[in-house]
Structure 1
Amino acid sequence: MRPPRVHRLTVADAADRYADMVRAKAATGALAPGTAEVYVRDVLTFAALAGAERVLDDLDGADVDGVLVRFARKPDGRRAGGPAHTGTGARTGARAGVQSAASQARFRRSVSAFFRYAATAGWVQLDPMASVTLRPRERGGLRAERRALTAEQAGGLLDAARELAAAAPRGRADQRTQLRDGLIVLLLVSVGPRVSELTRANVEDFFVNAGVRYWRIFGKGGRTRDVPLPGAVAEVLDAYLASGRRELDRGVEGKALLLSWRGRRLARGDVQGVIDRVLERVEPGRRRGVTPHGLRHTTATHLLAAATDMDAVRRVLGHADLSTLGRYRDELPGELEAAMRVHPLLTGRRTGNGGTRD
């Protein structure tokens, strides 16, 4: 149904009004802050790519097609200048800086939500998304940048992070972030937080209970979860709090756990650069490029592969429903063979007289 009267707003004005609405929903708790940040960033990007001074109602499916193509070719700032990782899933040549399939799908969802709201608000007569001809990329299997690292690859990354944290020098301004970088990778691999949960963490969110270090993570929908940290990770955290963070602190961000070398709270977009720097220290045979979300997949996959209780994994990752784990459970080479070797119905099967059969 068409609105009775269309407000002929420019793309920029419509994007600004939509961004204000999203921020208001986040302020009232109706929308997670991290989700709101993504929506706002995507709609402002859409406005820039579509033409800020154009009238929103004049855009048709072909115009949106053009925006989607331009976004797909837009350099991915998170990976700019990153190392040329070797192994399966490495990006090479012209593909190295473009938007990933996941980013393109997310951008498309954000634009769709924007136009749905625009149609309801009377900014457009018809939703142009209905006539978009470009279709989302078919999955056809797991994307390399989101597939879980193997145990060998994850071990190489963890070893590099521990070595980086242990060897972090003191004094030089450009090297004070090494202890922080090691801590970031250790937290991502061991706990699997969302990148927004990691960058929003404050010093006061980490506490000790019965001699165990815990991280109180503030997740989606206002839910919190207390996750115990492995001992090796807790040691690096304590070292960072005792020295590394103090060297970075400029008194600007009093509560933030992770600080930039300028003393500001670390931004979401900086985390990929941290992972890439640590990956440079991994030997080529164990190195594969990965995103923060790929490390979340890695945590879930290896916890489940080790027969960890599914509900415990759900609580570590902060999911409301067990069914969500299916999206984070990736296949590992050789895991089916390993499972069958220790089949519970065949291994050490007992005979009728109390003995065992080989």
Structure 2
Amino acid sequence: MKGVGVRPAELKRLTVAEAADRYGELVRAKVVTGALSPATAEVYARDVATFVALAGPDTVLDDLTGEDVDAILLAFARKPDGRRAAPQTGTQAGSQVGAQAQSAASQARFRRSVSALFKHATLAGWVQLNPMALATVTARERGGLRAERRALTREQARGLLEAARALEPEPGRRRDQRTEMRDALIVVLLTVVGPRVSELVRANVEDFYVNDGVRYWRIFGKGGRTRDVPLPQDVAAMLDAYLARGRPRTREKALLLSWRGRRLARGDVQAVIDRVVRRVDPARRRSVTPHGLRHTTATHLLADAVDMDAVRRVLGHGDLSTLGRYRDELPGELEVAMRSHPLLRPARPAE
């Protein structure tokens, strides 16, 4: 969110498309003067055109926030790159179904192009605050675009869970094509249990069992290791409802199926999350990946003083030291910790 303040009188309320056109004129002028090579100018032009398409040409440039920029950068990262199409056969030929996502270098380059656009926009008075300064997505040449802080805050996580539980059938879909129960289960399992996305799509119906009235998920993790994680009651109820009414009748063993009865792939899971995120109240909405939801699970369990070894076993880590990479800072966390300091609590009366 941008800080509240008086908008300067000289600020130009340009749309994204208008700003891109004016910036394009500047880039072309630099080519004429020799300050920029034609090849570099072509790359800038292509990236800015993509930015316009992702941001929306009629969006006012100054209305874009750091969260908006994050969403645009991550949307570009997932955008199929036709130049890196995977081998295709049959009906996939000639389509983008088999195309791979953008390379790490392309993602970093796109971020630099967008940053250059906003740097000029700030100097030209098109924006009162450069949203790149508030963006949390950073460019890594080897790892691509990653959010610095991946875990959702408690409010953001609750908003996502509420949106998942409130999913309704899409208009016009036949009963056998409805996936809202499956999609809700995907988001809830990722947010509450924190499995790796590979563990989720690999899960079979038989991996879920009941012992002494508690529903467990036997997760097959890295290195052939397994772990049995108990599910909270409401999550177990969602699972049972999905198995009874939401999962297609098929001999396929996979827990998560497309409406055609095929096991979901990793990319399908991200598409499900994106659909649910769009239904979250904008005040609590933030783009997130399956791995970001795994960070969310770890962060909030640890912030709530859950035993570190228990959290390690839930996530399937070999040792406690690995948890440090999954523990993100939360806004206001230190203030809450100091307000409830154990040494300042009233002493319990002697019994």
Which residue pairs with 2:184 in the alignment? 182
| Aligned equivalent of 2:290, options 269, 289, 292 | 292
Q: Is the 8 A contact 1:145 1:291 kept in 2?
A: no
Q: Which amino acid aligns with 1:104?
A: A
Instruction: Select which of 163, 166, 172 maps to 2:166.
Output: 163
For the residue of structure 1 that corresponds to 2:227, the secondary structure is: strand
Measured in 1, the distance between the counterparts of 2:103 and 2:212 equals 42
CA contact (8 A) 2:149 2:328 kept: no
Cα distance in 1 between the residues matched to 2:148 and 2:245: 34
- SS across alignment from 2:216: strand
Distance 1:317 1:264, change over 3 A: same
Pair 1:146–1:207, CA change in 2 (3 A): farther
One-letter amino acid of the structure 1 residue matched with residue 156 of structure 2: Q
Q: Which amino acid aligns with 2:190?
A: L
Task: Give the direction of change, closer, same or farther, for the CA distance of 1:227–1:199 in structure 2 (3 Å limit).
Answer: same
What's the CA shift for 1:178? 0.9
* C-alpha distance in structure 2 between counterparts of 1:334 and 1:159, whole Å: 23
Tell me which protein shows more strand as a share of its residues. 2
Paired residues of 1:195 and 1:268 also in contact (CA < 8 A): yes
CA distance 1:190–1:265, shift in 2 (3 Å): same
TM-score in terms of structure 1 length: 0.59
Q: Partners in 1 of 2:159 and 2:184 — Cα distance?
A: 13
Distance 1:163 1:82 in 2: 27
Q: Which residue of 1 aligns with 2:174?
A: 172
Conserved 8 A contact 2:164-2:187: yes
Counterpart of 1:205 (choices 204, 207, 225) is: 207
Counterpart-to-counterpart distance in 2, 1:161 and 1:211: 26
8 A Cα contact 1:86 1:289, kept in partner = no
Q: Which residue of 2 aligns with 1:3?
A: none
Which of 254, 277, 280 is matched with 1:279 structurally? 277
Change (3 A) 1:136 1:163: closer
The one-letter code of the counterpart of 2:75 is A
Q: Residue in 2 aligned with 1:325? A: 323
Amino acid at match of 1:232: D
Deviation digits for residues 209-252 of structure 1, max 9, x if unmatched? Answer: 1111110000001111110111111111001100111xx2444x
Q: Deviations over 1:3-53 (max 9, x none)?
A: xxxxxxxxxxxxxxxxxxxxxxxxxxxxxxxxxxxxxxxxxxxxxxxxxxx
Cα distance in 2, alignment partners of residues 230 and 189 from structure 1: 12
Deviation at 1:93, TM superposition (A): 5.0
Match of 2:341 in 1: 343
Could you tell me how far apart the structure 2 residues matched to 1:160 and 1:343 are? 34
Contact map agreement 2:54 2:72 (CA 8 A) in 1: no
Q: Against the structure 1 CA distance between its residues 227 and 302, is the aligned structure 2 distance closer, same or farther, given a 3 Å change threshold?
A: same
User: Equivalent of 2:313, from 297, 312, 315?
Assistant: 315
Question: Normalization by structure 2: what TM-score?
Answer: 0.60
Q: Give 5+ residue unaligned stretches, structure 1.
A: 1-68, 74-79, 108-134
1:162-212, CA deviations, whole angstroms, 9 ceiling, x for partnerless residues? 1127x6899715752111000000000000000000000000000111111
2:76 maps to 97
Which structure ranks higher in relative contact order (CA pairs < 8 Å, sequence separation ≥ 6)?
A: 1
Distance 1:170 1:238, change over 3 A: farther
State the alpha-carbon separation in 2 of the partners of residues 342 and 203 from structure 1.
43
Question: Distance in 2 between the 1:204 and 1:304 partners?
Answer: 30
State the SS of the aligned residue for 1:295.
helix
1:276 CA displacement: 0.5
C-alpha root-mean-square deviation of aligned residues, in Å? 3.7
Deviation at 1:104, TM superposition (A): 3.1
Report the equivalent of 1:259.
257
Following TM superposition, the consecutive aligned residue runs of length 4 or more in structure 1 with deviations greater than 4 angstroms are 80-87, 92-95, 135-139, 167-171
Secondary structure of the 1:208 match is: strand
Q: Distance in 2 between matches of 1:173 and 1:153?
A: 31
Tell me the distance in 2 between the aligned counterparts of 1:255 and 1:313: 28
2:245 aligned to 240, 243, 246, which one?
243
Unaligned runs of 5+ in 2: 1-42, 48-52, 80-101, 108-138
Give the % identical residues.
70
> Contact between 2:104 and 2:142, CA under 8 Å: does it hold in 1?
no
